[in-house]
Amino acid sequence: MLEQLKRDGVFINRLFATLRRVMTLKAKSDWLVCDELDLACTTWPGHVAMKCGADSWSYADLKTYADRVGNFVLDLGLKRGETVALFMPNRPEYVGLWFGIAKAGVRTALINSNLQGAALKHSLDVSGAKHLFVDATLHEALETIRDDLPPDLTVWSACGEIEGARPLDAYIQSSSADNVNANVRLGLKQGDIALYIYTSGTTGLPKAAKVTHMKALTYMRGFAGGTGARPEDNIYITLPLYHATGGLCALGAALLTGGTAVLRERFSASQFWADVTKYNITMFVYIGELCRYLINQDERPGEDRHSIRLAFGNGLRPDVWAEMDRRFKIPRILEFYGSTEGNVSLLNLDGKQGAVGRIPRWLSWAFNVVIVKYNAETGALVRDAHGHCVVCKPGEVGEALGRIGKKPREAFVGYTSQRESQRKIAEDVLRKGDRWFRTGDLMKTDKHGYFYFVDRLGDTFRWKGENVATTEVEAALGLRDDIDEAIVYGVTVPHTEGKAGMAALVMHDEPNWADLAAHLDQSLPDYAIPLFIRRLPALETTGTFKYRKGDLAKAGYDPERLGAEVWVRDAKAGYTLLTPETLEAIRTGSFRV
């Protein structure tokens, strides 16, 4: 009881530190995310805002660059409600570009920098952008859709040159550094859209989630408060800035408090501790996979002597968490749960291992989250005799829902597609006429109100920190003449986070595995390429002609259990036959996935 009282005290203190930051946000307020960043830049002009390799930007540098961008966007004739697409890896210019675009009252579509081909074209199409700012390092991805670009789309090359693109750097540099006239934003409110952030769905192509100024500020302010960030903090961000966790939560913790965001394009486990020392890192943002990479590194003397006081993120598995504590002794880990488009946010403020958040029973009235029973066979929510959903008891697994209401944290703005938005809404959940956001995630609680993530629903699984839509992978496989049918699903692999992709194929010819691997490399992001492939003479369906994907997923990839051959992705040879030796290496975690 004393331990629980202590946890309650920590929870309350940290909860109110977070709420103080977000409670003034209102949909009708005219204080926008660019105003918040402007305030930070004028408050700490001489502080270092961002570091990336040899680059170092002060807050004054960030403001000057953003003002040049904003004035350039206005010179282009763009008006409020219009969109610029941004296709760029992590770098200081990324932040300065969408900050400046927002100062002009224009929206930014943050395109996943791993995309190419159909997924990239789709992301551009749904954004409605007439201008694309693309980093010169992504020229090869751009070439995959060059012939399919709309004739009215202007392509601008940033941080270098791309043949056929206009030179963005030169235009920005020649633009006025005067503060963007705030009058161009008159009439814009926090309830208006600031960004589009893409999330993979069951449609097989990225969905553009609408992120309002209020939503962006909620993320940024919430983590500035929840992490207790200070001007002297150096926050290590290796997660992509096109996702909310790295690009809003972590960035907000740094920039709204006068701290420094230390950016790296990609995470490197071997370089992590060297960077911690080099940049005197005090916080870092993670996904569970990143932490697993760290604990898989060989132990080294002094790895528990560092400057880190807080790690925050999501997807940290209990076994990885325990090993992180044992080896690195980070004083505080802040695990959270949320989604870009959703209205369910949970924070594990007191550090309970394995939990994604907590809502004490005595405070449940103040939150909009409930877990209800779910029918795994039909995908429907279980209803009682009155047509209402059945709330799970502690220990029971169900789908987490978020009540849609008027408060900022209860809003659900949805996607650019109205059909996709409607699919995420459940009605008459607890009473007639109420509306709830379906997270698509299975959770459970315990008697103390801690929430635990269990699994994801539907045709999307998570691998290497990204959502993989099975239909997108199936579509890529279906382009090949030698494949008659393809079913893709996620399978659990020991010592990894999420689920790895596996494909069951019906093929009429003997496969050329190297050619198939090359095709997938050209068609899909790295994280979406199936790790395992098995061949079947035919794919079994249900009475309603649905593939038995669940049965295939349960069968897994063990050739002995399947009584069939399985091929595994090999970095050098494309796909190779899965041998008992390789299977054992996968089981022990020594096989690189």
Q: Which residues pair with 437 in a beta bridge?
A: 402, 425
Q: pLDDT tens for residues 211-246?
A: 999 999 999 999 999 999 999 999 999 999 999 999
Decide: residue 551, CB within 10 A, 0-12 exposed, 13-18 middle, 19+ buried. Answer: exposed
Per-residue pLDDT at 160 exceeds 70? yes
Evaluate whether 390 touches 418 at the Cβ level (below 8 Å).
Answer: no
Q: Does domain 2-335 have CATH number 3.40.710.10?
A: no
Confidence of residue 398 (pLDDT cuts 50, 70, 90): very high
Confidence of residue 409 (pLDDT cuts 50, 70, 90): confident
d(CA 286, CA 330): 13
d(CA 309, CA 303): 14
DSSP reduced 3-state for 84: strand
Q: pLDDT tens for residues 181-216?
A: 999 999 999 999 999 999 864 346 889 999 999 999
Q: pLDDT tens for residues 471-502?
A: 788 888 988 888 888 889 999 899 888 889 99
- Percentage of residues in the chain with pLDDT exceeding 70? 97
- DSSP letter for each residue of 10-29: HHHHHHHHHHHHHTT--TT-
Report the pLDDT averaged over residues 274-301.
92
**C-alpha 433: how far from chain center:** 31
Instruction: Give the number of other CB atoms < 10 A from CB of residue 587.
Output: 13
Evaluate whether 359 touches 367 at the Cβ level (below 8 Å).
Answer: yes
pLDDT of residue 67: 98
Average pLDDT, the chain: 91
Evaluate whether 139 touches 118 at the Cβ level (below 8 Å).
Answer: no
d(CA 415, CA 339): 13
Contacts by 295-300, CB closer than 8 A, 24 or more apart: 295/320, 295/323, 295/324, 295/327, 296/269, 296/495, 296/589, 297/269, 297/270, 299/327, 300/273
Side-chain-side CA neighbours of residue 394 (13 Å) = 9
Matching fold, domains 359-403+411-456 and 460-588: no
Q: Please report, for the chain, how many H helices and E strands are present, in that order.
A: 19, 28
Residue 362 DSSP label: G
d(CA 255, CA 220): 9
Give the tokens for residue 452.
């635990």
pTM of the model: 0.85
d(CA 311, CA 321): 11
pLDDT of residue 9: 78
Pairing between β-strand 532-535 and β-strand 566-570 as defined by DSSP bridges: antiparallel
CATH of domain 460-588: 3.30.300.30
Domains in the chain: boundaries? 2-335, 359-403+411-456, 460-588
pLDDT of residue 346: 93
Q: Which residues pair with 466 in a beta bridge?
A: 463
pLDDT of residue 481: 84
d(CA 223, CA 312): 9
Per-residue pLDDT at 540 exceeds 70? no
Radius of gyration of the chain (CA): 24
pLDDT of residue 49: 98
Domain 359-403+411-456: which CATH number of 2.60.120.10, 3.40.50.970, 3.90.1150.10, 2.30.38.10: 2.30.38.10
d(CA 72, CA 104): 9
Residue 364 DSSP label: G
Decide: residue 316, CB within 10 A, 0-12 exposed, 13-18 middle, 19+ buried. Answer: buried
Per-residue pLDDT at 544 exceeds 70? no
Residue 541 DSSP label: B
**C-alpha 381: how far from chain center:** 26
Confidence of residue 543 (pLDDT cuts 50, 70, 90): very low
Per-residue pLDDT at 92 exceeds 90? yes
Q: What share of the chain is helix, strand, coil (3-state, %, to 5)?
A: 35, 25, 40
Report the pLDDT averaged over residues 34-39.
98
Side-chain-side CA neighbours of residue 264 (13 Å) = 21
Evaluate whether 246 touches 237 at the Cβ level (below 8 Å).
Answer: yes
Per-residue pLDDT at 157 exceeds 50? yes
